[in-house]
Amino acid sequence: MKFSLNWLKTYLDTDASAEEIAAKLNAIGLEVEGVDDPAQTLDGFRIAHVLTAAKHPDADKLQVLSVDTGEGEPLQVVCGAPNARAGMKGVLGLPGAVVPANGMKLRKSAIRGVESNGMMCSVRELELGEDHDGIIELPDDAPIGTSFAEYHGSSPIFDVAITPNRPDCMGVYGVARDLAAAGLGTLKPLDIAKTAGAYTCPVEIRTEDAEGCPAFHGRVIRGVRNGVSPDWMQDALRSAGQRPISALVDITNYLMLGFGRPAHAYDLAKLNGAVVARRARDGETVLALNEKTYTLDSSMTVIADDSGVHDIAGIMGGEHSGVSDTTQDVLLEIAYFNPEAIGVTGRKLGLASDARTRFERGVDPAFLDDGLDLLTQLVLDICGGEASEVVRAGEAPLDTKVVAFDPALTSRLGGVDVAEAEQRAILAKLGFAAGEDWRVGVPTWRPDVEGAPDLVEEIVRIYGLDKVESTALPRAEGVAKPTATAQQKLERRVRRAAAARGLNEAITWSFIPVAEAAHFVSDDQALWQLDNPISEDMKAMRPSLLPGLLSAAKRNMDRGASGVRLFEIGRRYLRGADGMSDERPTLAVLLAGEKTPRGWASGKAAAFDAYDAKAEAVALLAEAGAPVDKLQVMGEAGEQFHPGQSATLRLGPKNVLARFGTLHPKTLEAFDVEGPVMAVEIFLDAIPGKKGAQEFARVAYAPPALQSVMRDFAFLVDVDVPAGDLLRSVKSADKVNIVDARIFDDFRGQGVPEGKKSLAVEVTLQPGEKSYTEEDLKGISDKVVKSAAKQGAELRG
C-alpha cells in the first residue's frame, strides 16, 4: 500500500522525518518496501517568468520565449504550447533535468534552427496530472528561480507491505494509529459531521442475503456537480498509485485508501426500482468497470435493481450504473460483506481489486455509519447537493471479542519484561480496552486478534522487538548425531558425482501437462491427476523426470545451446495398487546436441550415442554403491526409447536398476525436440543397500605389496553372445586372483569363421603373499578358459 507523508500527517500530528517514520514502521511490523521522494524527480525544474514571446521564424506553431530564471541573463526557450505568452509564470526544465513522464534528459539544442535552453513543462510531463493542453501557469506571486519541487510541496511516498492479518492497516488512518501507539506522534481525532437528512430516501434499500451481506446502508444526494476533485485529493490519490477520475469516484477511492473502507456511488438516474443485496442467479452476467463481462452463479453476492445486476458485491462495480460528468443525483452505498464469500467469488471470477483485497481480509463492521457520514461530508463539500435520510438494511456483526489476559504472559512468551501499566497503555493506544481484571475488549477493526498470545505480540512489537534479547537455544554436550537418512546420503553422493562428470543440475516442475505425462506411462490408470490444478499445463504429477528435462533441453537448444548435459534428482509419482500415491526417488540424465564440437582434427561435430548414456548410467550406479560388476544388460527399456538403441541394467531378471539409450523419434516429436537425444533413468530405490552402518565409509587405502600381472585371452564366440556375459564369466573364474577384466578388441574378418567373432580379454591378476609361479599362472588360465566355455567361447589358437 502506498501513501504520501502529507496524507499520513492528515491523521498523525508528528514532526518525524520520512526516514524516522520508515524506521518505526519497520520496527512495529509494517515492512517498508521503499520510500520515494518525488522532489528528486523534479530536480532541475525552476519557476520562471516569461519576459517576451515571439513567433518562431521557421515554424507557425512554435514561439521563441525569453525566460527569466532569477539567475543571470534571461534564457531563450522554444515552446509549442498554445498558452505560452509574455508575462506568465511557469515551470522551466533546465538542461540536465530529466522529464518524469518519458525519462528524456533535457539539453541545449536547436529547434528548427533556433537555440533552446530547456523546456517549459505541462502538468502531464511532470506527472502531476493528465492536463497536456498547455504549459503550467503559476500564480503571479510565485517566486522566480525557486525550485518547483520546493514550491509545489512534494511529499515522500511510502510503499508499505501490509500482511494479510492486518486489515486495520489497509488504510492510512490505521497506519497512523499504529505509529501514534509507538510514540511517533499523536493520532488526530476524526471530525465526522453527522448530516441530517433533508428528505426521505427515494430509493428502497434492502438485503436479501443475510449471510453474504449482513448490513447494507445507503443514502441519496441530489443536485450534485461531478467535476474535478480538489488538488489535495488528487495528490493523495496519485501518491497511492490511483489515477484521479472525477470528484465522486475520487471521493469513494479516498475513503477506501484513507480508512480501508470501500464504498460505491451509483448514478441514481441509471437505477430502476429497489436496490438490493442478493445472491446472483446462475448464468446472470454483469459488465464490470474494467469493461469485462462476468458470468455469475448462485454462490455470489451482488447488488441489483429491477433491471439486473449492477455490482459484484465487495469486488467491483458495474459499468452501466457508474457515475459520469452528467450525474446529478447519486446513491451512496456502504456495506459489510462476508470476507470468506468475497474471497470465494474473487477466485471463481479471477477478479482482483482494491475493494476485494480489503473486504476479504475483513473491514471494520462498526465503521458503516461513520464511513457513510465521511462520504456524505466529502460529497457535499466538493460536489454540493442535498442529502436524504440514511437507510440501514440488516445489521453488521458487532459482537465484541473479550480476551482473558495475564500480563505475565508477555515475559514468558515475548521474552521481555514490560510493566503492567505500560502494557495497559500500549493496548489502549491501539484501541483495546483492558479492564481491571485484565479482560481485554478487542476493537472491531482487529479481526486478527483471537487470544492472549496475539495481545503479547501487539505489546512486544510496540514496546520494541529490538529490546528482546537474543538467547541461544540449549545444546546438549557432545557431538550431535547425524540426521540425514540413508536415502538422503545416497542422493547427495550421486548429485556430487553427476556434477563432477560435467552434468548440469536442473530442477523442473513435479506437475506437467497430462499429454506429456501420459507419454511416459503404459497404463493411464497409473497416472496421478490433480482435481484442482494451478493450471491445465500442471495437472498431472510426473511419472518420469524425462519430460521436464526434455522441456529444459528444448528451451536451451532453442536459444542456441550446441550441446546439453542435464541431470535431475527428484521423485516420480505413480498410482500404487492400493490407489495411493507412490513416490519413487529417481536420477535422470539427458544428453542432447553436440558431444564434442567440430575441430581441425575431428572434422564434424560428434553427437552423443547410446554408449555415452550407458557410461553415465554405469558410472553413477557405481557411485551409488550398486554392484556394477553383477549388472546384466537386458532389453525392454520402454516404448519411449528406441528399441534397437536402448537397454536396461538389472540385478537378476526382475530388479531393474536403470534404463538408458536413445529416445524414440516419436518421443522427440511429442516434445518438439530435435534428435538424437540420449537419456538415462536410475531408480535409486531399486539399488540394494549395503549392510552395516558404514555404508558410505571410505575404505582405507592399502596398496598391494606385489605387482599385478596381465594376461590376454582371445575367444571365438557366436556373434549374438553379449560381450558382457563373457566378461562376467571370465571374472568369476577365480575370484581370489582375478581383480579385473576388460574387453579390448572385437574382431570379425579374415581368420574368423562365419557367424563368429573374436573377443580379446585383458585379465588382471593380483598375487597375495608371494609371486606367481608358472604353474600358478597356468592353473588360473585353465580356469578362465573353462569358465568362458560356459558361454560357448573357444580359445583361439
Residue (of 225, 229, 245) closest to 328 by Cα position: 225
Q: Is 269 exposed, middle or buried (0-12, 13-18, 19+ CB in 10 A)?
A: middle
Q: Is 454 labelled as part of a ligand binding site?
A: yes
Nine-digit cell string for 86: 509574455
Distances (CA, A) of 710 to 677, 703, 728, 762: 38, 17, 17, 7
Q: Is 720 labelled as part of a ligand binding site?
A: no
Q: Within 10 Å of residue 786's Cβ, how many Cβ atoms?
A: 11
Nine-digit cell string for 571: 521423485
Question: Is the distance from CB of 335 to CB of 215 less than 8 angstroms?
Answer: yes
Ramachandran sector of residue 747 (left: φ over 0; alpha: ψ -120 to 50; beta: rest): beta
Q: Is 636 labelled as part of a ligand binding site?
A: no
Whole-angstrom distance, CA of residue 251 vs CA of residue 248: 5
Residue (of 310, 366, 301) closest to 338 by Cα position: 301
Question: Is the distance from CB of 144 to CB of 70 less than 8 angstroms?
Answer: yes
Whole-angstrom distance, CA of residue 221 vs CA of residue 197: 9
Q: Is 458 labelled as part of a ligand binding site?
A: yes
Nine-digit cell string for 215: 448490513
SS3 21: helix
Whole-angstrom distance, CA of residue 192 vs CA of residue 171: 17
Phi, then psi, of 614 in degrees rounded to 5: -65, -40
For the residues of 669-722, what is the DSSP string, one character each?
A: HHTT--S-EEEEEEEGGGSPPPSSS-TTPPPPP---SS--EEEEEEEEEETTS-
SS3 9: helix
Residue (of 331, 327, 335) closest to 256 by Cα position: 335
Cis peptide leading into 156, omega within 30 of 0? Answer: no
Binding residues: 448, 454, 457-458
Binding residues for Mg(2+): 448, 454, 457-458
